[in-house]
Structure 1
Amino acid sequence: MDLLQWLFEARIPVGSSSLLLREVIGNVFGLLSVLGGMRRRVWAWPVGIVGNVLLLTVFLGSAFGGAGTVDLLGQAGRQVMFIVVSVYGWRQWQAGRQAAGSAVTPRWASGRARIGLVAGMILGTVALTPLFRALGSYEPVWADAWTFVGSLLATFGMAKGWVEFWLIWVAVDIVGVPLLFSAGYYASAVMYLIYGAFTIIGFAVWTRERRRAEARLVSAVDAPVKQIQ
């Protein structure tokens, strides 16, 4: 109990202010999950879940004794969403590794799926903004809703193995960083900036792997033809 109390109350001094230790630790776990996802490692999912649990307690500051902190309901809600979708992704990648020896093979989303992702981002943000506002989320509420919906779609895209999920994260970070800075969650804001760099790298890595997979497929098709000739 003493350890748990320490974890909830511990702060890291930064100049004249301080950062919640659990916010920093939660984001470190999140970064490790991103690195694991880039390398298509199954452990990326459970590591991410640990970070989600810690960050859930951060963004519901008033519920966990965070005097002087604001509640970001979209950020808090997306941690719950992350946990649910991560369980799905964990199972998908685990099954893929058992069946094909690889957790997931990156692939491009279909045209219909891409339209669905864009429409989902826009319509989801419009639909959730008034709900989050009614619940008392921090302004601008639309930004909180945008990061929630984008995070849901990006995590689902990662579970499906769509290369485009990295680009959704870029869209989330562009809005999420200013929101977190304005709300006073500086550790998360800085970590979002770092995430942004890794999402661009991740997109390049997954794109390269997809091209390699396509090249291997072409070679496998051409091999029997060459043998016949």
Structure 2
Amino acid sequence: MDWKLILQIAGVALGLLYLWLEYRADIRLWIVGLVMPLIHGALYYKSGLYADCSMQVYYVLAGLYGWLVWRRNNTRTDVGQTGAKDTKGASGAKSSAAALHIAHTPLRMIPVLTAVYAAAHAALYLLLTHFTDSTVPFWDAGTTALSVVAMWMLSRKLVEQWLVWLAVDLVTVGLYLYKDLPYTAGLYALYSALAVAGYLRWRRQARA
């Protein structure tokens, strides 16, 4: 039984579901996001992508944080729109709640996020080069560091998180092809295209 192939197929299926829920700004994305790291973690470990493997622990913790943040904000919105539910219906209120907190990244936050990325990239690179047999330490560390930043931005519903994910996805396609993970590379190629669509959709919602 080819466990590497099975893990890739399972990861692709969960990844597509996750991306669709993220595109819709659906809180259920965080539930899928708690399961998906288990699949990807095993796959990346078997493939020698140690930074990506360890990143899955962060994804679980960030998923719990993101779910709590979105749930708290949506609950507050629902309470504030009780009157609107009476006139517009429950579905309209829920739609408003889902889009209400989407916003652009404040300019003052960009240097901080850049510094976090640079520090994480450097630290992960040193760990990979000194304590593992990774053959792609720079790229593995770079995509992982960017993912840390992007995941936090997603938890705050910042529009530009899609652009950070786009950078991650484009590099990851080449990285996973190099590591002989064609199905996972194909998933990230699709991620790249949908990241553009997601960015445009969230930007429209931020304006609204």
Deviations 1:30-50 (A, max 9, x none): 221121111111100111221
Equivalents in 2 of 1:171, 1:86: separation in Å? Answer: 21
Output aligned runs, 1:117-128, within 5 Å: 117-128=113-124
Matched, 1:158 2:143: no
Q: CA deviation at 1:21?
A: 1.1
Match of 1:51 in 2: 36
Q: CA deviation at 1:130?
A: 1.2
Larger helix fraction of residues: 2
Equivalents in 2 of 1:181, 1:136: separation in Å? Answer: 21
Equivalents in 1 of 2:159, 2:133: separation in Å? Answer: 32
Higher Rg: 1
CA contact (8 A) 1:30 1:52 kept: no
* Match for residue 142 of structure 2 among 130, 146, 155: 146
Same amino acid, percent of matched pairs: 25
Equivalents in 1 of 2:13, 2:176: separation in Å? Answer: 16
Change (3 A) 1:181 1:126: same
Gaps of 5+ in 2: 79-96
Indicate the structure whose relative CO is greater, using CA pairs within 8 Å and at least 6 residues apart. Answer: 2
Deviations 1:55-90 (A, max 9, x none): 1111111xxxxxxxx310111011111111011001
The residue type paired with residue 109 of structure 2 is A
- Please state whether the residue corresponding to 2:101 is helix, strand or coil: coil
Match of 1:131 in 2: 127
Q: State the TM-score, normalized to the length of structure 1.
A: 0.78
Equivalents in 1 of 2:129, 2:5: separation in Å? Answer: 26
CA-atom RMSD, angstroms?
A: 1.5
Q: CA deviation at 1:134?
A: 2.0
Q: CA deviation at 1:126?
A: 1.8
Equivalents in 1 of 2:196, 2:106: separation in Å? Answer: 21
Equivalents in 2 of 1:185, 1:159: separation in Å? Answer: 28
Equivalents in 1 of 2:48, 2:136: separation in Å? Answer: 12
Equivalents in 2 of 1:165, 1:76: separation in Å? Answer: 21
Match of 1:29 in 2: 14
Match of 1:223 in 2: none
Q: Which runs of 4+ in 1 moved over 6 A?
A: none
Equivalents in 1 of 2:206, 2:184: separation in Å? Answer: 31
Equivalents in 2 of 1:124, 1:207: separation in Å? Answer: 28
Equivalents in 1 of 2:185, 2:114: separation in Å? Answer: 24
Matched, 1:196 2:181: no
Gaps of 5+ in 1: 1-8, 12-18, 62-69, 213-229
Output aligned runs, 1:1-229, within 5 Å: 9-10=1-2, 20-61=5-46, 70-101=47-78, 102-103=97-98, 105-212=101-208
Match of 1:66 in 2: none
Equivalents in 2 of 1:132, 1:23: separation in Å? Answer: 23
Q: State the TM-score, normalized to the length of structure 2.
A: 0.85
The residue type paired with residue 147 of structure 2 is S
